Amino acid sequence: MPRLTRRLFLAGTAAAVAAPALGAPATPSEDFDVVVIGAGAAGIAAARRLAAEKRRFVVLEASDRIGGRCITDTTLFGVPFDRGAHWIHEPRINPLAKLARGTGLDVYAAPRGQNLRIGRRSARTSELEVYLATLERANRAIAQAARGKTDLSCAKALPDDLGPWQNTADFVLGPFACGKDLDDISARDFARSRERNSDAFCREGYGTLLAHLAQNLPIRLSTPVHRVSWGSRVSVETDAGRIKANHVIITASTDILLSDRIAFEPALPKSHSDALGQLRLGSYDHIALELEGNPLCARQDDIIFEQASDERTAAVLANVGGTSLAMVEVGGRFGRSLSAQGEQAMVDFAVEWLSNLYGPSVHRALGRSHATRWNQSPWIGGAFSAAAPGGQGARRTLSEPLRNRVFFAGEAAHETLWGTVGGAWESGERAANAALKLLPPPAGKPGAKPAAKPVRAKAKSRPTRARQRKQRNRSR
């Protein structure tokens, strides 16, 4: 069966399982070329570029782990469980997939196919074709609306005759793909996002891959930044002291930057604060269930949707990596409301939802369970950043540096790969490259010039009498 080609990814959040090399505690006298705030994908990418150029830098991470919204847990279920990002999109061109080849980790292609449930049965081929045609119509309508003079919401762009597949299309294109409902998403932003026609998974976990790539970088965990001053130079204040630098690369999420956790002096310009407001995070969580005996009769890494009757719907990725782990995916307004009720409410919903599709065997097979709650994460605050209607241009604004001192990076700062680890990685490299261009070459590197010795001005010699006489004759 054909796999959806539009943004089939488990968006969102998360970090890594192996700790990187830690730098020494900050002291008031420290001075760097660049300070990187945040050790997620964007921060790690920026740090690797700076390290390759042998620049003096440090990465400050507020939490006690690396990876941001890309973290793999191996203790909850005894197998790799990606608490956040899981899908490696377009592995042929994805920079992380290329880097994975040198780590020894097992990156394999995601199966091309999906299951669709209608009540307690699988959809027939003809029904699946109608469903896919409905999604194609919806995508075309959004793309056409994106070319208009006014940036509409995706919901306003949709045809009003999608019939029994309306709720499913709303979920697949909105909460599942973007973490927000379609009336909260810019049609232009949706249309500009790059297609995800092929995917891959890392058997050991996406967060494990990031942890490998972060090894030996000077990352300081549990070091939240309280203030960034960006005058003639940059000053970054933490509990451990103040750090000075020529430039700072900030990879914190849009919701954290909109909070009062990091103060800016001077305050961010209105253009940037408005851009952050247009790019607030959506909601996307995994409800992980251990299901022994394969009660869903699914293949490895099988993605399953339902013909939904309302917004209380989800998707499930079954038999993750060939294990008995299933991840039920919830997002958007319903997912946010469910997450606010607590982990047990989320697990109860997932079990009930799957039981309605597969019967009481789900209850009998149920083992351990866990639900992520990224909206409650103190240093993240949500999933990822689908732009609000009228807000697509905010991504370009956020990519603009402030006084060539402050650079922003992360998935929100990528115009076509927002919501992906690959987009965050590319934006981190881009910010690092921009900062590097403004720095003088490091000492000892070709092109570096030794500091010039100060030249003492020569005292002017007094003119001789003969010279004075000659000047008087010329002036006559």
Residue 3: band (very low, low, confident or very high) from pLDDT cuts 50, 70, 90 = very low
Average pLDDT (210-232) is 97
At 439, list the tokens: 């720095």
Cβ neighbours, 10 Å, residue 124: 11
Of 26-30, 34-38, 53-57, 313-317, give the lowest mean pLDDT range.
26-30
Domains of the chain: 31-108+201-281+387-438 (3.50.50.60), 114-193+283-376 (3.90.660.10)
User: How many angstroms separate the CA atoms of 195 and 192, rounded?
Assistant: 9
Alpha carbon of residue 217 to chain centroid: 20
User: How many angstroms separate the CA atoms of 189 and 215, rounded?
Assistant: 34
Phi, psi of 117 (to 5 degrees): -105, 135
Residue 442: band (very low, low, confident or very high) from pLDDT cuts 50, 70, 90 = confident
User: How many angstroms separate the CA atoms of 240 and 262, rounded?
Assistant: 15
Alpha carbon of residue 265 to chain centroid: 26
At 353, list the tokens: 């939802």
pTM confidence score: 0.88
Instruction: Find the length of the chain.
Output: 476
User: Higher confidence at residue 22 or residue 425?
Assistant: 425
Per-residue pLDDT at 29:
56
Average pLDDT (205-225) is 97
Please list, residue by residue across 23-54, b when 16 or more beta carbons sit within 10 angstroms of its beta carbon and e when fewer do.
Answer: beebeeebebbbbbbbbbbbbbbbbbbbeebe
Average pLDDT (458-473) is 46
Phi, psi of 475 (to 5 degrees): -80, -5
| Cα dist from 71 to 48, 78, 96, 247, whole Å | 19, 15, 15, 28
| CB of 165 closer than 8 Å to CB of 154 | no
At 78, list the tokens: 């005894």
| CB of 39 closer than 8 Å to CB of 236 | no
90: left (phi over 0), alpha (psi -120 to 50) or beta: left
Of 269-278, 395-404, 467-476, give the lowest mean pLDDT range.
467-476
Least Cα distance to 184 among 41, 27, 16, 382 occurs for 382
User: How many angstroms separate the CA atoms of 208 and 200, rounded?
Assistant: 15
Residue 445: band (very low, low, confident or very high) from pLDDT cuts 50, 70, 90 = low
Instruction: Please write the tens of the pLDDT for every residue from 67-91.
Output: 999 999 999 999 999 999 999 998 9
Of 12-26, 79-93, 370-384, 387-401, give the lowest mean pLDDT range.
12-26
Phi, psi of 67 (to 5 degrees): 110, -20
Instruction: Please write the tens of the pLDDT for every residue from 380-397.
Output: 999 999 999 999 999 999
DSSP classification of residue 260: T
319: left (phi over 0), alpha (psi -120 to 50) or beta: left
At 236, list the tokens: 């970054």
CB proximity list for 77: less than 8 A, separation 6 or greater: 288, 290, 323, 325, 368, 370
Per-residue pLDDT at 457:
42
